[in-house]
Amino acid sequence: MPERRNILITGASSGLGAQLAREFAARGRNLALCARRLDRLEQLRAELLAAHPGITVSIAQLDVNEHARVFTVFREFAEELGGLDRVVVNAGLGKGQPIGSGRFDANAQTATTNFIAVLAQCEAAMEIFRAHDAGHLVVVSSMSALRGMPGNRTAYAASKAGAATLAEGIRADTLRTPIAVTTLFPGFIATDMTAAGGRAPLQVSTEKGVRAMVRAIERESATAKVPAWPWVPIGLALRWLPLRMVAAISG
C-alpha cells in the first residue's frame, strides 16, 4: 500500500478536520487544509509547524458550497504540494429540523452542504486522481446514514446516506484502478458541532474518535464504522431493527 504523503482535508478549522490534521501531521504527512474560517486555519498551521517542523502545511479559505472555488482550491493545492495523494471530504453541517415544521431553509442548507458540496469535492478530487491514475478518496459519512432518522436528524441522515452512496458508486467505478475509496461512518464523537446538543450516549472524545478514523483511513478500508466498538454491532442492529425501534432509540 503506497504512503499517502500529501493529504487534503476539508472542514479543517475545527472538530474532526482539525484533529485529523494533528494526527496526520504527527505521522509526518504534508497537509492541505481548507475551511471557511481562515483565522482558525492560520492558528492550526502555526501549531502543527511548531510541533512538526519537517512538514509542509498549506491553507486556503474555502466554503464548499462555492462549487467553482472547490475545484480552484484543490488544483492550487495540488500544484503547491506537487500532487495530492489523499483527499478527506470532511466538511459538513449538522443542523436540521423535523420535516414539515416550516424550516425548509435549515434542511435545504444541510442537504446542500452534506451532499451537493460533497459531490463537488469528490468531482474535484477525482479529476486530480484520474489524471495521475492514483490517489485515495475518503468520504466522511455518519452512522445516521444507515437508517432514516426522526426529528432534527431526518435531513442530516438522508444527506449522509447520499454521500455514502456517492462514495460507493465512485468505488465501483475505480475497482480495477490504483485509486482507493473509503467511506467512514463515525459514531458519536465529541466536536464543536455536537457540543450544542450535550453529551450523547456512547460518545467518545475527539482524540479517541479521530484515532479510530485515521486507523481506518490508513488501512484504506472500503468502509469503516468508527470507533469499531460499539458501532460495528450497533450498525448491524440498525440494519435489522424495526423502524419503530430505531425511531424510539434515536429520537
21 lies in some domain: yes
Q: Is the pLDDT of residue 249 over 90?
A: no
1 lies in some domain: no
77 lies in some domain: yes
- Does residue 212 carry a catalytic annotation? no
Mean predicted lDDT score pLDDT of the chain: 93
Convert the pLDDT of each residue in 30-47 to its tens digit. 999 999 999 999 999 999
Burial class from Cβ neighbours inside 10 Å (0-12, 13-18, 19+) for residue 241 reads middle
76 lies in some domain: yes
Number of domains in the chain: 1
Structural domain harbouring 188: 6-250
Q: Is the pLDDT of residue 71 over 70?
A: yes
Q: Is the pLDDT of residue 199 over 70?
A: no
226 lies in some domain: yes
Convert the pLDDT of each residue in 225-234 to its tens digit. 999 998 898 8
Q: Which of 74, 115, 156, 185 is catalytic?
A: 156
Report yes or no: 220 and 1 within 8 Å, Cβ to Cβ.
Answer: yes
CATH at 180: 3.40.50.720
pTM of the entire predicted model: 0.94
Report yes or no: 104 and 54 within 8 Å, Cβ to Cβ.
Answer: no
Cell representation of residue 199: 453529551
Report yes or no: 211 and 23 within 8 Å, Cβ to Cβ.
Answer: yes
192 pLDDT band (50/70/90 cuts)? low
Q: Is the pLDDT of residue 243 over 90?
A: no
Convert the pLDDT of each residue in 127-159 to its tens digit. 999 999 999 999 999 999 999 999 999 999 999
179 lies in some domain: yes
